[in-house]
Structure 1
Amino acid sequence: MNLKSILAKPFANYIYNKIKKGMETAVQDQENWLKQLVKAAKSTEFGRDHGFEGIETYEDFKKKVPIRDYEQLKPYINKIKEGKENVLWRGKPLYLAKTSGTTSGVKYIPISKDSIDNHIDSARNAILCYIAETGNASFTSGKMIFLSGSPVLERVGGIPTGRLSGIVNHHVPKYLRTNQLPSYETNCIDDWETKLDAVVKETIHQDMTLISGIPPWMQMYFDRLSTQSGKKISELFPNFQVMVYGGVNFEPYRAKLFDSIGKKIDSIETFPASEGFIAFQDSQKAEGLLLNTDSGIFFEFVPAAEIFSDNPTRITLRDVKVGENYALIINNNAGLWGYNIGDTVKFVSTNPYRLVVSGRTKHYISAFGEHVIAEEVEHSLMKAANELQLRIAEFTVAPMVQQGEGKSYHEWFIEFEDIPADITALTALVDNNLRQKNVYYDDLISGNILQQLKITPVQKGGFIEYMKSIGKLGGQNKLPRLSNDRKIADALQPYVLK
């Protein structure tokens, strides 16, 4: 154990104790943040437009600040991009984070001098909590992958602009720089496959101890390493101890990732977004991610079924309930107000406040009134796959609306590691699991309105080829689990097993 590992433990314990104290004051911290945020933004253009001077309570805030998405915030963002100050927050943003939108194209999310610590410290705290709880700090002596988007930033309205991961790359602490891979030059490569080859070349002979990324990226990285070496990842990297991931549900990727690694290792889940670092796994023993209640963000929660209503219910942390599905709304010290980030969450505990990400507000199937969400399809498939000992590489689900004879159904496009001998048995299991999980879907099946779902196998590497064809391979790009139309389903046809 080197000096870095020795020093990490007392620092981890110090931060961990602060986080534990914060668990006890979470509700009060949230109420304090609302007051601080409103007070700080009173003189901004947004604050004047929305009467921040007259806001004293949360009820006042709800009356004056409606829930909005990026399109509704865009007029203010455009003024920031033109170089104007004091628009959403004091002064100018420190950065603009570029992120892909669905209807908006590229979105520009402000990150301020006040909010940057939320992004940097939260990632650090996730690792420090792990060290404090487990006592394992030896991995800090080895090499760690912090793969990012290109750290080369353009300027928009005089503001450095780029992908969040590229921005964060500039703030990796100096004491970790000597451990960090890949190199700055490799991180600057834009083409994903060229970049992946360079990452493999740089790391294949290194002592890798921590690897972070979204699960689909890590799987591609592991596959490329194994192809070149003919070895399991644990043979290549015998000191590989910790995997940090976020961005998508880990469960559909778990079995294949650990099979690629060749042994069980610890993992840390995070919930980062361009809009803010929402939550992180603070314990290896407890379910869920600890909500970041004292980090510059005031959270609101809307019952997921109401998010597109004209007058949805809005509640604070004080009133959330375990097991309810909520759309997540944030207000932060970068100037996002009543902002629907598009994710849905479900609390698994309120002492402390831990949650799981249950899906996306716009990723669901309700072509027939069933409102099936990502959490339900992932649970249904993985439960069946575990029962039949199948490994799933990737999948997505779309509705098939029959115009002529025959009943409509859900079509599941699945890439298997090995095609199951009995697709019919898998189909029945998945369908039954989904019926137990979603009462509306069950009613449609039992009422003879929908027929049983159908599984369409996708060829090996088919989803990767599809993502490549639309220019979204690698990085932080994620395949939607569900669509309410056939756009992805139709685009997948060339990759379906005949």
Structure 2
Amino acid sequence: MGFRSSIIKPFAHKIARDIRRWSARAVLEQEQIFKQLLATGKNTAFGKAHGFEQIRSYQDYIERVPIRDYEGIKPYIERIKAGESDVLWKGRPAYFAKTSGTTSGVKYIPISNQSIPNHFGSARNALFNYYAQTGNGQWLDGKVIFLSGSPELTETAGIPTGRLSGISNHMIPAWLRSSQMPSYETNCIEDWETKLDRIVEETLSQNMRLISGIPPWVQMYYERLIERSGKKTIKEIFPDFSVFVYGGVNYEPYRAKLEELTGGRIDSVETYPASEGFVAFQDSQNEPGLLLNAASGIFFEFVPAEEIFLENPTRLWLKDVQPGVNYALIINNNAGLWGYNLGDTVQFVSINPPRLIVSGRIKHFISAFGEHVIGKEVEEAMLQTCHEQGVKVVEFTVAPQVTPPEGGFPYHEWFVEFDGLPENLAAFSARLDELMIQQNIYYQDLIEGNILRPLVITPLQKDAFREYMKSQGKLGGQNKVPRLSNDRQIAEELTGLKLK
């Protein structure tokens, strides 16, 4: 055990004890946070406009505060940008997390002094909890890397502004900064491929012990390291590499390829951060799901996913949720987001303690014929098919083909980049379709009723998705390929990248 891991060990065990304590009383924690948020929020412009003074119960809150997306809070954000204080939260934001939206253009998400511990303490807690549970703290005694966006910040009305990952970079404590890779200068490079080459140069000779990032971009990092070094696996390059930290996408579709590149399975810690708040993290190496961050300044609401676009959907808080139900996730936090639709859907796999999985995105679905296929369904079907047939997939996305140019019934078109084509693509497609029928009863009805024909797989050439993301200016960083689209926009871009 090294010096740093020895010093931190008792603190890690304290963090783990705290997590066990509050997770056992998560509903009470949420109730207290709800009251605390209202007590502060009543003195803001938003609180006054929505009658926070008169709110005595969660039902009162529902009646006064509608669910909003970014467009709904944008007028308040504009008031903050114009210099006003006490708009959504007391004072002015400490930061704006700048992110892009599909309909809103650039979004400016407030981060307050009170919400900073949620954003930047939760990742630490997840890792220290992992240390306490497994005894593996040796990653603290070597180099760590966070593959993220640029840490450079600008100012918006005097408020430091940048990507969440960039803001996070400024919050890394001094004791960890000496171990952090890559260098600040390299991290500021905007072009992902140039940045990646520099990261490889800087880390190739280092004692890397923890690697963190979104799986598809970590895969690029691994491949470039292996290519540059002449080694066969990452474990040959970094013998002490022992923890992979990831978030943002489901790891399972990438696991086989990443473990092949790594040279075997290593421990992983999954996190669920968003610009709006750090929602959940993996608290156990043995139990499924991510622990809801129920004691960290966010009051969570849950709306049955099929009701999210209704004028008055059912709104539940943690006390009322059920396992296995697909919920749209709504947050209220100590930076001034009220009834904010995060855009994600989740399902609880455990109620006590509250653990969940991310099942998809509200806007990433296919329902061209009323089937409402979600991300979790396509990922599970693809994962099982690959496992059964010994096939590896690099990336995939699915879109409806409503008016096939070849004629005949419409279908779901799966654009798939294989790491080696299946020996029998027709058999692979047929099994994938069987599993989709098992996953989604509406899809089953459409297939059996001859409204849809079985799915069609369009194999793509090597690096097709990377080329697509590069063409969209979204290569690297925190960007992700949508699993599902209800239109043909992405499909049309990928059609030119078909396997010849």
TM-score interval, smaller chain? over 0.9
Q: Can you list the C-alpha shifts for 1:44-94, whole angstroms capped at 9, x where unaligned?
A: 110011001111110100000000100111101111111211110000000
Q: Counterpart in 2 of 1:399?
A: 400
Q: Specify which of 469, 491, 494 is matched with residue 493 of structure 2.
A: 491
Q: Counterpart in 2 of 1:322?
A: 323
Q: Specify which of 447, 460, 464 is matched with residue 462 of structure 1.
A: 464
Q: Can you list the C-alpha shifts for 1:415-444, whole angstroms capped at 9, x where unaligned?
A: 001011211000001000000000000000
Paired amino acid for 1:101:
G
Q: Counterpart in 1 of 2:113?
A: 113
Q: Counterpart in 2 of 1:335?
A: 336
Q: Distance in 1 between matches of 2:416 and 2:149?
A: 28
Q: Can you list the C-alpha shifts for 1:167-226, whole angstroms capped at 9, x where unaligned?
A: 010010111111100011111111111111111100011110000001011001001111
How many residues end up aligned between the 2 structures?
Answer: 498
Instruction: Return the offset for 1:351.
Output: 1.2
Give the 3-state SS of the residue equivalent to 2:268 in structure 1: strand
| Comparing 18-27 and 372-381, the one that deviates more | 18-27
Q: Counterpart in 2 of 1:438?
A: 440
Q: Can you list the C-alpha shifts for 1:12-45, whole angstroms capped at 9, x where unaligned?
A: 1111001101012110110111111011011111
Paired amino acid for 1:195:
K
| Comparing 224-233 and 406-415, the one that deviates more | 224-233
Q: Counterpart in 2 of 1:57?
A: 57
Q: Distance in 2 between matches of 1:21 and 1:403?
A: 56
**Alignment of 1:361 onto 2:362:** yes
Q: Can you list the C-alpha shifts for 1:379-410, whole angstroms capped at 9, x where unaligned?
A: 01110000000010000000000278410000
**Alignment of 1:34 onto 2:34:** yes
Q: Counterpart in 1 of 2:128?
A: 128
| Comparing 176-185 and 143-152, the one that deviates more | 143-152
Give the 3-state SS of the residue equivalent to 2:171 in structure 1: coil
Q: Are the counterparts in 1 of residues 291 and 355 from structure 2 also a CA contact under 8 Å?
A: yes
Q: Counterpart in 1 of 2:252?
A: 251
Unpaired runs of 5+ in structure 2? none
Instruction: Return the offset for 1:147.
Output: 2.6
Q: Counterpart in 2 of 1:233?
A: 234
Q: Can you list the C-alpha shifts for 1:244-285, whole angstroms capped at 9, x where unaligned?
A: 000001011000000000121000000000000000001101
Alignment of 1:69-108 (within 5 A): 69-108=69-108
Q: Counterpart in 2 of 1:141?
A: 141
Give the 3-state SS of the residue equivalent to 1:415 in structure 2: strand
Q: Are the counterparts in 1 of residues 327 and 346 from structure 2 also a CA contact under 8 Å?
A: yes
Paired amino acid for 1:445:
I
Q: Counterpart in 2 of 1:478?
A: 480
Alignment of 1:259-408 (within 5 A): 259-402=260-403, 405-408=407-410
Structure 1: 4+ residue segments shifted above 3 A = none
Q: Distance in 2 between matches of 1:421 and 1:24?
A: 49
Give the 3-state SS of the residue equivalent to 2:43 in structure 1: coil
Q: Distance in 1 between matches of 2:246 and 2:30?
A: 26
Q: Distance in 2 between matches of 1:264 and 1:384?
A: 21
Paired amino acid for 2:282:
Q
Q: Specify which of 417, 422, 432 is matched with residue 424 of structure 2.
A: 422
TM-score, length of structure 2 as denominator length: 0.99
Alignment of 1:159-238 (within 5 A): 159-231=159-231, 232-238=233-239
Paired amino acid for 1:16:
A
Q: Are the counterparts in 1 of residues 97 and 163 from structure 2 also a CA contact under 8 Å?
A: yes
What is the aligned-residue RMSD (CA, Å)? 0.8
Q: Can you list the C-alpha shifts for 1:94-136, whole angstroms capped at 9, x where unaligned?
A: 0000111000111110000000110111000110111011011
Q: Distance in 2 between matches of 1:356 and 1:31?
A: 22
Paired amino acid for 1:141:
D
Q: Distance in 1 between matches of 2:121 and 2:221?
A: 27
TM-score, length of structure 1 as denominator length: 0.99
Q: Distance in 2 between matches of 1:147 and 1:167?
A: 14
Q: Distance in 2 between matches of 1:7 and 1:346?
A: 38
Q: Can you list the C-alpha shifts for 1:227-251, whole angstroms capped at 9, x where unaligned?
A: 1112210100010000000000101
Instruction: Return the offset for 1:144.
Output: 0.2
Q: Counterpart in 2 of 1:3?
A: 3
Q: Distance in 2 between matches of 1:325 and 1:418?
A: 34
Give the 3-state SS of the residue equivalent to 1:170 in structure 2: helix
**Alignment of 1:21 onto 2:16:** no
Q: Distance in 2 between matches of 1:408 and 1:152?
A: 47
Q: Distance in 1 between matches of 2:358 and 2:100?
A: 19
Q: Can you list the C-alpha shifts for 1:309-353, whole angstroms capped at 9, x where unaligned?
A: 111000000011111110000000000000000000000001100
Paired amino acid for 1:9:
K
Paired amino acid for 1:41:
G
Q: Are the counterparts in 1 of residues 391 and 422 from structure 2 also a CA contact under 8 Å?
A: yes
Q: Are the counterparts in 1 of residues 147 and 218 from structure 2 also a CA contact under 8 Å?
A: no
Q: Distance in 1 between matches of 2:150 and 2:91?
A: 26
Q: Distance in 2 between matches of 1:453 and 1:180?
A: 45
Q: Distance in 1 between matches of 2:148 and 2:443?
A: 40
| Comparing 140-149 and 97-106, the one that deviates more | 140-149
Give the 3-state SS of the residue equivalent to 1:108 in structure 2: strand
**Alignment of 1:46 onto 2:46:** yes
Q: Distance in 1 between matches of 2:216 and 2:109?
A: 24
Identity of aligned residues (%): 62
